[in-house]
Amino acid sequence: MTEHTHRNERFDDPHLESLLPAIPTSRRGFLAGGAGAGFALAAGPLAAQTAIQTPADGLTIAEPRIAVEGGEMPAYLAAPEGRDRRPAVIVIPEIFGMHAYQKDICRRLARLGYTALTLDPYFRFGDLSRLTEVREVVAQANRLDDPRMLADLDAVIDYVAGHPRVDRRRVAITGMCRGGRTVWKAMAHSKRLKAGVSWYGGLNPMPPVMPRTPLDVAAGLNGPVLGLYGSADAGIPVARVAEMQEVLKTGTPAARASRFILYRDMPHAFHADYRTSYRREAAEDGWQQMLGWFRTHGVA
């Protein structure tokens, strides 16, 4: 076990399961409370802006609309000025959909040399960022079934890979909360993504429109995933993370290359700088871990 001595300790696998007391798991229990519980506990009202404000000067900003079945998906793209092709990162939003937080993340990445794009996966159901009741947000987001979500993602990858500012050989994906779940699913679905980083992506059984969990697909990953999770996440117990780690050990080379970093005492959404769950030290460390992961796997 590797221990890191900054105040918010993190623990890298391969001995994740021994770090904290095991928490009993059952599919029935997760079906009852896992679909939105951890998110609901962490979520508060959406702030008008993020705590971190990244300027757009020196960047090219665009708001394309990507053709998907049933409409055009709103998106937001940030890239360094110039004409050269850059590595790209697709940023999948939380359950609230696309808002200021994801756009700022794109600008942060663009200032580091990436072309970054985020999107609104739930656009068919309205602007979820404007809803005030968490239960309504969850109910609307749960209408997006996995086949449609993955088909939309294929269209997004097509758009990014074909963009004149993108090197299609170097495309990665990251996402938070429900978007982190999408990262696991995407890396098992697509062979065009080189690496993924999942920030506290849900691992639990979900509503019937999302019947297969990340645990069900993890052994078949096409590219390596780094999972950044908190040990105090009310919706994703450590035992479930440990179970996921065991599945990865049985899979493809990419699955076996995947790993977790568990941040002791960190809640769900510890990177979300517009919410009370934000924990700066862990968020900043996770950000550096993400960038290092991309570099290690050729997306830099």
Say which of 13, 104, 120, 233 is annotated catalytic: 233
Q: Cα–Cα distance between 111 and 121 in angstroms, integer? A: 25
Mean pLDDT of 288-294: 98
- Which among 211, 174, 190 is positioned nearest to 254, based on CA atoms? 190
Active site residue 167: no
- Which among 205, 202, 296 is positioned nearest to 254, based on CA atoms? 296
Q: Cα–Cα distance between 274 and 48 in angstroms, integer? A: 8
Mean pLDDT of 89-101: 96
Backbone φ, ψ for residue 257 (5° rounding): -80, -15
Helices (H), the chain: 27-33, 37-42, 100-110, 134-141, 146-161, 178-189, 214-217, 238-249, 253-257, 280-296
| pLDDT value of position 170 | 98
Q: Band the pLDDT of 194: cuts 50, 70, 90.
A: very high
| pLDDT value of position 209 | 87
The more confident residue out of 21 and 273 is 273
Element (H, E) at 250: none
The domain total for the chain is: 1
| pLDDT value of position 51 | 82
SS3 string, 40-78, reads HHHCCCCCCCCCCCCCCCCEEEECCEEEECCEEEEEEEE
Q: Band the pLDDT of 156: cuts 50, 70, 90.
A: very high
| pLDDT value of position 9 | 74
Say which of 99, 268, 271, 297 is annotated catalytic: 268
Active site residue 84: no
For residue 271, pLDDT over 70 is answered with: yes
Task: Find the CATH number of the domain harbouring 266.
Answer: 3.40.50.1820
pLDDT tens figures, 200-236:
999 998 888 899 999 999 999 999 999 999 999 999 9
SS3 string, 258-292, reads CEEEEECCCCCCCCCCCCCCCCHHHHHHHHHHHHH
- Which among 95, 113, 230, 94 is positioned nearest to 174, based on CA atoms? 94
pLDDT tens figures, 13-57:
645 544 444 333 332 222 223 334 344 444 444 555 668 999 999
Q: What is the mean pLDDT of the chain?
A: 88
Say which of 106, 177, 189, 273 is annotated catalytic: 177
Q: Cα–Cα distance between 120 and 135 in angstroms, integer? A: 19
Q: Cα–Cα distance between 268 and 42 in angstroms, integer? A: 6
Q: Which domain holds residue 120?
A: 2-296
CA-angle at 291, arms to 186 and 11, nearest 5°: 85
Tokens of 138: 């969850």
Active site residue 268: yes
For residue 151, pLDDT over 50 is answered with: yes
Mean pLDDT of 161-184: 98
